[in-house]
Structure 1
Amino acid sequence: MKDIEIAQQSEMLPIVEIAKKAGLSEDEIEQYGPYKAKIGLPLSARPKTKQKLILVTAVNPTPAGEGKSTVTVGLGDALNLSGQKAMIALREPSLGPVMGMKGGATGGGYSQVVPMEDINLHFTGDMHALTTANNTLAALIDNHIYQGNKLGIDQRRVIWKRVLDINDRALRHVVIGIGGITQGIPREDGFDITVASEMMAILCLATDIADLKRRLGKIVIGYTFEKEPVTVDQLGVTGALALLLKDALKPNLVQTLAHTPAIIHGGPFANIAHGCNSVLATKTALQLADYTVTEAGFGADLGAEKFLDIKAPQLGKYPDTIVIVATVRALKMNGGVAKNELDHEDLVALENGFANLARHIKSMKRYNIPVVVAINRFMADTEAELTKLVELCAEIDTKAVVADVWAKGGTGALDLAQTVIKTCDKDVAPVELYAKEDLLEDKIKTIVTEIYGGKDVEFSPKALRQLQEFKTFGWDKLPVCMAKTQYSLSDDPKKLGAPTDFTIHVREFVPKLGAGFIVALTGNVLTMPGLPKVPAAMGMNLADDGTIIGLY
């Protein structure tokens, strides 16, 4: 049975009942129909919970499938089945991958959040609010230049791009303002996907309305003819942008198939943005539940590193346990097996591909936080392969637990839940990867060597010039958000497994002062993806009775 069919046959509880289960009163939520709600903030005072935080991450993604969101949901359900009070905090899906190739972000099988169709499509309108706020700023910038340009913005140095929440390669590089003197000032421009935007990052890192406005005001939109940065505050439109985001700032409440309360809010990609759901969502779950299970995008080299180095300091809490999701299939593919051969037992390829998982385990242990491996079981996995993977993890002093959450939901993760409960009880003192006062280039070198397993960093002439500019502006010690292919530990998507002695190539930096970090664009990574030859959209339809067809 397909994921959407399982979801459509499920019986959801009214969202007011899910809110009550989470410890929220009806006055503390704003209903968006019978099964969705936004949580009003700030929450009123309530008894302190255990506030145990579990971060779910994974090996590098492959076409074989890993199931990070599926394990996150299954683990949350299993913790509740084990007598604990647990909640889940996930990211919102982007329409880009939904209509393209990757798929949705609501889990799968019997470990899903629902209503999955709503969540994967328009949900509560957060993505549209972000897109509108972003493009309103773009329009205001061009209008300012057209109406006399009092700030002296150099139209050749405007760095604020327009966005769209769909993969559209034709919009990566465009020219605007053509068609005559009344059509604006001609200049080069481009589009990013909404989830890569600074608006998204700000929404996910803001702690309240005041912080949202402070961050919006600090956005650097471009430079003057004297090469001085220009901010949103200088443009005078901070308040207008905040108005457009006031509802989007509130976390969204839904449920799993097993009726575990789930907060889904914010959806930055981890390869081109910081890859974590909102600080407000995670904070809210921590206030309401003893165990909060959250996830970060793609592999541990991207999402988890950014959770630990960018989000955790803003959240004021590090995870108590890190769960790394791996599959026999993904590791065999990392070991050289073709996708169409993955259903055949191959212990040699599994052992060869284990190097990828071992690298992620080592990098996560670098933070001095307990690590558990969740082996997400697939139907074709043999007992010999599963046993071998558990043994390989044990050889590097790491507990691995098989989880059968797609087929069994929370009952398939009871052993994983018990393991996580034990590791969460350990007293740990997290160790930061780099010091806040380290220079930007030194932070990048540390990430490359300590997390990716690489040897060196090479900066393009443009990136070197930018590093000097950032020192002048006092931006040279901000955190770094690496934009890198998700498919490899290197910046070459074809280098699978655990490559060594490689160099990461930084071609350009993008300052995101509102978010509070500098983005480093590496290799050929794109901030506006393209659609595949056969997009998932081609298999979707709407029946005459309103039933959605083909959405996974």
Structure 2
Amino acid sequence: ITTAHNLIAAMIDNSLQQGNELNLDPRRIVWRRVMDLNERALRSIILGLGGKANGVPRESGFDITVASEIMAILCLSTDLMDLKERIRKIVIGYTYDGKAVTAGDIGAAGSAAVLLKDAVKPNLVQTLEGVPAFIHGGPFANIAHGCNSLQATRLGLKLSDYFVTEAGFGADLGAEKFLDIKCRLGGLTPSAVVIVATVRALKMHGGRKKTELAQEDLAALEKGMTNLEKHIENIASFGLPAVVAINRFPTDTEAELALVEEKCSRLGASVALSEVWEKGGDGGLDLGRKVMEACGKRSSFRFLYEPSLSPKEKIGKIAREIYGAAGVTYTDQAEKDLAQIHELGKDDLLV
């Protein structure tokens, strides 16, 4: 993914060097380079220094590979040819008169797809107990959709009676994008959702300091439960049953665990202790049974919004219904970006 991404970047700079036939404005190239390492000194750089033979000087920078658009679209592609078509449509910059230029315009789609011909295939691995698992893709949930590849999920569904996949960053960020984006584009209908929580984290939400989390504190736990309750509410809004998996720590008391179970039960979510870190698969048997029970319940899966809504309407629904916001205030730059999206005819894209 790093190589394919940087190939496109190299072809952009080569296009500038070879006479700029596409009339690209070097100040409006939005395709940066990536590397699989956090390196703050390279976030903003000037490249092309050293004379005519080294290219056209311009401002640019590096992002981390998991933030690459290639990573995101690989995880949403159905096969290699679909991936190639998605690469072709990537907007890499704008001309001096404001027209969008794509990776297809600079002739990079085919070459990038060839570099990804093996990467597009799911990786089959196994757990310590021999359970098969796919490790394939990792787009950031805060800037992309935070889910593994659609191909791995579809393959897993073909090979098992129950298939578990992860949506990172909680039921407000990762799960919303998994349900509204990945499930919509992949034609997937989930049977149930597992929300992972810890007593320690809930007490922190209730105001306890990290150094105090080993002490029983039912008041802080009850106060912090509002966070978990909102996650359960979010999942219910999609019409899906929820199971809360409590990753148990040695410092959790019976009273604290009972409080979490009581609160969750009131909202219609079942609760199971997860002790797999200590006991391996045996520590997740109760969780597995409750997930199977939840999968057997009737559900009415639905999306939060329709693609036909305007970007502001979609953003507003997510902000209000998932995050509990009263409304959304846009910066001047955000307004400009939304205007650009409208001019490109992309108002129907998912958020």
For normalisation by structure 2, the TM-score amounts to 0.98
Q: For 1:235, what is the secondary structure of its paired residue?
A: coil
Residues 480-528 of structure 1 deviation map (CA, whole Å, 9 limit, x = unaligned) = 1xxxxxxxxxxxxxxxxxxxxxxxxxxxxxxxxxxxxxxxxxxxxxxxx
1:333 aligns with 2:204: yes
Q: Counterpart in 1 of 2:57?
A: 186
**In 2, Cα distance between equivalents of 1:446 and 1:453:** 10
Q: Counterpart in 2 of 1:162?
A: 33
Residues 112-161 of structure 1 deviation map (CA, whole Å, 9 limit, x = unaligned) = xxxxxxxxxxxxxxxxxx00110111010011011101111111000001
- Offset at 1:432? 0.9
User: Which one of 260, 271, 283 corresponds to residue 131 of structure 2?
Assistant: 260
1:134 aligns with 2:18: no
- Offset at 1:182? 2.0
Q: Counterpart in 2 of 1:235?
A: 106
Residues 203-262 of structure 1 deviation map (CA, whole Å, 9 limit, x = unaligned) = 101101110111010011000111010011111121100110000001001101110011
1:284 aligns with 2:155: yes
Q: Counterpart in 1 of 2:16?
A: 145
Runs of 4+ deviating beyond 3 Å: none
**1:205 touches 1:311 (CA, 8 Å); kept in 2?**
yes
Q: Report matched runs for 1:296-307 at 5 Å.
A: 296-307=167-178
Amino acid of the residue matched to residue 52 of structure 2? Answer: I
**In 1, Cα distance between equivalents of 2:108 and 2:9:** 11
Residues 35-78 of structure 1 deviation map (CA, whole Å, 9 limit, x = unaligned) = xxxxxxxxxxxxxxxxxxxxxxxxxxxxxxxxxxxxxxxxxxxx
**1:216 touches 1:238 (CA, 8 Å); kept in 2?**
yes
**In 2, Cα distance between equivalents of 1:444 and 1:173:** 29
Residues 78-132 of structure 1 deviation map (CA, whole Å, 9 limit, x = unaligned) = xxxxxxxxxxxxxxxxxxxxxxxxxxxxxxxxxxxxxxxxxxxxxxxxxxxx001
Residues 429-466 of structure 1 deviation map (CA, whole Å, 9 limit, x = unaligned) = 21110011011111111111111111111111121122
Q: Counterpart in 1 of 2:337?
A: 466
**In 1, Cα distance between equivalents of 2:205 and 2:332:** 34
Percent sequence identity is 55
- Offset at 1:395? 2.2
Range moving further from structure 2, 220-229 or 399-408: 399-408
**In 1, Cα distance between equivalents of 2:145 and 2:242:** 21
**In 1, Cα distance between equivalents of 2:345 and 2:291:** 42
Q: Report matched runs for 1:446-457 at 5 Å.
A: 446-457=317-328
**1:333 touches 1:342 (CA, 8 Å); kept in 2?**
yes
Q: For 2:172, what is the secondary structure of its paired residue?
A: helix
Cα RMSD after superposing both structures: 1.0
Amino acid of the residue matched to residue 184 of structure 1? Answer: G
Residues 353-408 of structure 1 deviation map (CA, whole Å, 9 limit, x = unaligned) = 10110111111111001111111101111111111111111222221112211101
**In 2, Cα distance between equivalents of 1:202 and 1:285:** 19
Residues 325-353 of structure 1 deviation map (CA, whole Å, 9 limit, x = unaligned) = 01000000111111111111111110011
**In 2, Cα distance between equivalents of 1:215 and 1:283:** 19
Q: Counterpart in 2 of 1:174?
A: 45
Q: Report matched runs for 1:76-87 at 5 Å.
A: none
Range moving further from structure 2, 298-307 or 394-403: 394-403
**1:256 touches 1:262 (CA, 8 Å); kept in 2?**
yes
1:423 aligns with 2:308: no
Q: Report matched runs for 1:103-114 at 5 Å.
A: none
Q: Counterpart in 2 of 1:200?
A: 71
Between the two proteins, the alignment pairs up a number of residues equal to 351
1:322 aligns with 2:185: no
**In 1, Cα distance between equivalents of 2:329 and 2:348:** 19
Q: For 1:233, what is the secondary structure of its paired residue?
A: coil
**In 2, Cα distance between equivalents of 1:254 and 1:467:** 42
1:342 aligns with 2:198: no
**In 1, Cα distance between equivalents of 2:287 and 2:62:** 42
Q: For 2:105, what is the secondary structure of its paired residue?
A: helix
**In 1, Cα distance between equivalents of 2:133 and 2:5:** 27
Range moving further from structure 2, 397-406 or 324-333: 397-406
Q: Counterpart in 2 of 1:97?
A: none
Amino acid of the residue matched to residue 298 of structure 2? Answer: D
- Comparing both structures, which one devotes a greater share of its residues to strand? 1
- Offset at 1:314? 1.9
- Residue ranges of structure 1 left out of the alignment (5+ in a row): 1-129, 481-552
Q: For 2:173, what is the secondary structure of its paired residue?
A: helix
**In 1, Cα distance between equivalents of 2:142 and 2:323:** 13
Residues 254-303 of structure 1 deviation map (CA, whole Å, 9 limit, x = unaligned) = 10111001111001121222100000000000011110011111211111
1:442 aligns with 2:313: yes
Q: Counterpart in 1 of 2:91?
A: 220
**In 1, Cα distance between equivalents of 2:41 and 2:143:** 18
1:269 aligns with 2:136: no
User: Which one of 282, 295, 307 corresponds to residue 166 of structure 2?
Assistant: 295
Q: Counterpart in 2 of 1:309?
A: 180
**In 2, Cα distance between equivalents of 1:398 and 1:420:** 11
Amino acid of the residue matched to residue 25 of structure 2? Answer: D
- Comparing both structures, which one devotes a greater share of its residues to helix? 2
**In 2, Cα distance between equivalents of 1:456 and 1:192:** 31
- Offset at 1:423? 1.3
Q: Report matched runs for 1:80-99 at 5 Å.
A: none
- Offset at 1:473? 1.4
User: Which one of 237, 243, 252 corresponds to residue 381 of structure 1?
Assistant: 252
User: Which one of 405, 409, 429 corresponds to residue 276 of structure 2?
Assistant: 405
- Residue ranges of structure 2 left out of the alignment (5+ in a row): none
User: Which one of 418, 421, 433 corresponds to residue 304 of structure 2?
Assistant: 433
**In 1, Cα distance between equivalents of 2:257 and 2:302:** 32
- Offset at 1:175? 1.0
**1:195 touches 1:273 (CA, 8 Å); kept in 2?**
no
